[in-house]
Structure 1
Amino acid sequence: MKAKLKIPLQILLMALLLFCAVFSGAQAKTAQLRYYAVDVGQGDCSLFVLPNGQNIVIDAGPEKNAKQTVRYLKSCGVKRVDLLVATHPHEDHIGGMKELLSAFPVGKIWDSGYNHGSRVQRDFYRAIKDGKIAFGRPKRGFSENFGDVRVDVLGPAKLLKNTDSDANNNGLVLLVTYGDISFLITGDMEREERRTLEPLPQATVLKAAHHGSRNGTDGNMLRELSPEIIILSYARGNSYGHPHKEVVKAIREAGVRRFDTADGTVKLRTDGKGITFERKRVVK
């Protein structure tokens, strides 16, 4: 007859505590936010995959690359978009919206509220109405939490008229924060809107305004924000000359690490404390 093995209660408790600590540590390791500045050609699209599994998509790139954009989002594991944001109504930012709305269920939509009157914007609004999707036009001061991630609306602060581009200068500007790490998403904000939002908060990652245009990002802005990383979204050889040489020089002088979607989708990860990146090439 075999003797029964008796394990003291204290050892069992210690083993249980050790297991819980290891399990909690494993969970903490996987609690990461993933950010993608998607290569959509000459346009803009950002994807945030949040630690709780929710997805935020900001802009959807141009219409001609819409199917490719949707395929890429699916390859990132996106099956539902919890928040879809249209920073402003230019085609290179909302041209892919109709395709995206056909491909994914969408929880809610935030829109700048600026009426451009274009066919692309009308199609976008019609798709929202047909899908009976919750729709809002948040302004400066509004914020919402998505699990441990906070999204603050910094702009628009007020209606601007008679600027070089009223659509750009009445766009949504968002600060996405997870722990100590923040992402400033500026759309095509130009100097006029920026003046209404000053002082802007410091940010770990800056999605450069207006594809690296001289009227979007300058040395003063970089000194104010002190970003560790700046991302420029544009297509190589574009007719606008993006990024403008003045912006490239300012970034270099500020010593900010730069990534360009012209080299492919930019991929970042953060646990809320530090940030890592996955890129084939870092632009110097």
Structure 2
Amino acid sequence: MAREVARSTQALRVTLKKLPRPLDWYSATLLLGIKLADADKTLADITRLGLLYLFSLSGLHVFYVVKTLRHLLKLLRLPRWLEILVILGVLPVYVILGGASASLVRAVWMCWLKLATSRIKGVHLKLATIWAVVLLLELWRYPALFYQLGAQLSYLLTLVIITSKTSSNWLFNLKLNAFSAPLVLYYTYQWNFLTFLITGWMNLIFEYIILPVTFIGAVIPFLQNLAAQILQLISTGLTLLARAPSNFVFGRPPLIMVLLWLGVLLWLQGSSKKLRWSALLGISYFLTFLLLRYPLSSEIVYFDIGQGDCTLIRERFSRRVILIDTGGKVHFAMPNWKKRPTKTSGETIVANYLLSKGITQIDQLYLTHQDADHVGNFPSLSRSIKINQMIVPAGMEDLPSFKRRLAKSTVAPKAVKGVTDKVSLSDPHLKLLHPFTRGQGTNADSLVLWLDFYGLKCIFTGDLDRKGELAIIKKYPDLTATVLKTGHHGSKTATDPKFVRQLAPKVAIISAGRHNRYGHPNKETLVTLQDAKVSYYVTAKVGMIKLTEMLGHFSFWDLKDN
């Protein structure tokens, strides 16, 4: 039986996937509550406009399913009790075939309980009670589901709708926006100023055009193309609105603030002091925004970017934001049919972290050399985060491979600067130690940066080899560093024992991917660090490593015992 259900579910998904675009995406999302792999663009536009709550409430289409069933059963002249009994039997089957998504389960079981209890004398359950019962059942069945934004919005906004006493459409839309804002900010870190202006219209378009057109297009074959064209017009309109310069990056508020905001909003539902508490709510948003965008602490973040390098340096109050390398992936040639639209780790890891901290621009991006695992992500990163200046080892700016990447980015060629150690940097706390001459952007030409981080000395060496390391300590015989970012991901081609002895670091950071095919970090490098009594941390083992400074106190975060 279970196998037959699984086959039926899969067959239904395959059938919907064959529908013309974008009817396939709308049908899969609204009718089954699943997301197709190639629908990220549509979902990104909806999220950017703050309209994700509409699709979290996609169970509204259950209303159309039940209504259609009742019309069909009336044609058969069945008695009302038998009509309801048939619907009660069909709805659970629909949940199973639909993949049991959060919004679908919520809508179906709320409808099922309402119909079932309506046939019991003396039992009149309120919608809020039914909502609570379904919520408890789902928490028991699949608690991990509620880590998802869609599930959280689905249940929260359903509660708001069934308990709302607001008759004004304007106030009702304001309420929906107010309740969705804390969760949307927590998961996406941004808000769109157009959201409130278009919410009212989108509610009508969603209920009277998107849902019916999707439902009709999915079940009536000869209307599929027409339905797809209508939905394409709507999608195009959403894309145009999403591109408008109306998005505001807030940052990720602390979870305690999200819970506080939601608690206050729920309390305001029945409070008479709405104006005073609304003002306090607004002030708390503003203060949270200030602390996110202009933090009191400084930080150095060594990203867990896989087999690559990427490091963030951020001064308190965001006075200066510097990124050293962006990570990236080496791509091997493959036929077009194997290629899939995927986001880079520059978007999913680096940009995601920066936006969560309210960072919208990078003052300087230092690319240590041309290898893809150090520079491959900068084009995709530049589309999310503005890059004011890009600094590369002299000679690399003229390479055809670099120019091709630059053309795919939003960075202007005039913002790129090739440097050697003879160039003075604008940041007095940051010194450029290498390269000595123009090169070709190879490992041997890597930028080497030395940072005075509030008295803590840090060095970043790119993929510089041992020969280059020895040349640096020969030129700078007094050079020391407390924190060493080891060269070339812990390869034995770098981290020369003489280099380590002169620097005398207390801590070494090794950026390497889990189970990488190069065997990084090399055992020889680890022995070198152990002999010099240097504690080391590998991103492949401990994940992202964060060094923070506040009022002269330093802390390592996100570390496990090595």
- Structure 2 counterpart of 1:76: 357
> Structure 2 residue aligned with 1:187, among 462, 465, 468?
462
Task: Give TM-score scaled by structure 2 length.
Answer: 0.41
- Structure 2 counterpart of 1:56: 322
Gaps of 5+ in 1: 1-29
Matched, 1:172 2:447: yes
Gaps of 5+ in 2: 1-294, 330-343
Identity of aligned residues (%): 27
- Structure 2 counterpart of 1:43: 308
Over the aligned positions, Cα root-mean-square deviation in angstroms equals: 2.4
Instruction: Specify the structure having the higher radius of gyration (Cα).
Output: 2
Call closer, same or farther: CA 1:41–1:255 in 2, change over 3 Å. same
Aligned length, in residue pairs: 247
Q: Distance in 1 between matches of 2:403 and 2:415?
A: 17
TM-fit CA distance, 1:256? 1.3
TM-fit CA distance, 1:125? 2.6
Would the aligned equivalents of 1:110 and 1:135 in 2 still touch at CA under 8 Å? yes
> Structure 2 residue aligned with 1:110, among 381, 391, 401?
391
Structure 1, residues 239-261: CA drift from partner, whole Å, max 9, x if none?
Answer: 11100000111111222121111
Would the aligned equivalents of 1:142 and 1:152 in 2 still touch at CA under 8 Å? no
Matched, 1:65 2:330: no
Secondary structure in 2 matching 1:143: coil
TM-fit CA distance, 1:194? 2.0
Matched, 1:282 2:561: yes
Task: Give TM-score scaled by structure 1 length.
Answer: 0.79
Secondary structure in 2 matching 1:103: coil
More strand as a share of residues: 1
> Any residues of structure 2 matched to 1:109-128 within 5 Å, and which?
109-115=390-396, 117=399, 119=401, 121-127=402-408
More helix as a share of residues: 2
Secondary structure in 1 matching 2:556: strand
Q: Distance in 2 between matches of 1:145 and 1:130?
A: 19
Call closer, same or farther: CA 1:127–1:268 in 2, change over 3 Å. same
Matched, 1:269 2:548: yes
Q: Distance in 1 between matches of 2:351 and 2:488?
A: 22
- Structure 1 counterpart of 2:419: 138
Q: Distance in 1 between matches of 2:308 and 2:400?
A: 17
Matched, 1:87 2:368: yes
TM-fit CA distance, 1:225? 0.3
> Structure 2 residue aligned with 1:222, among 500, 510, 520?
500
Would the aligned equivalents of 2:470 and 2:499 in 1 still touch at CA under 8 Å? no
Call closer, same or farther: CA 1:83–1:74 in 2, change over 3 Å. same
Structure 1, residues 102-138: CA drift from partner, whole Å, max 9, x if none?
Answer: 111122110113449464x233332568635522112
Would the aligned equivalents of 2:380 and 2:409 in 1 still touch at CA under 8 Å? no
Call closer, same or farther: CA 1:125–1:38 in 2, change over 3 Å. same
Would the aligned equivalents of 1:82 and 1:106 in 2 still touch at CA under 8 Å? yes
- Structure 2 counterpart of 1:248: 526
Call closer, same or farther: CA 1:143–1:44 in 2, change over 3 Å. same
Would the aligned equivalents of 1:61 and 1:96 in 2 still touch at CA under 8 Å? yes
Higher RCO structure (Cα 8 Å, ≥6 apart): 1
Call closer, same or farther: CA 1:99–1:274 in 2, change over 3 Å. same
Q: Distance in 2 between matches of 1:254 and 1:261?
A: 20
Structure 1, residues 76-108: CA drift from partner, whole Å, max 9, x if none?
Answer: 332110111110010000010001111111221
Q: Distance in 1 between matches of 2:411 and 2:433?
A: 29
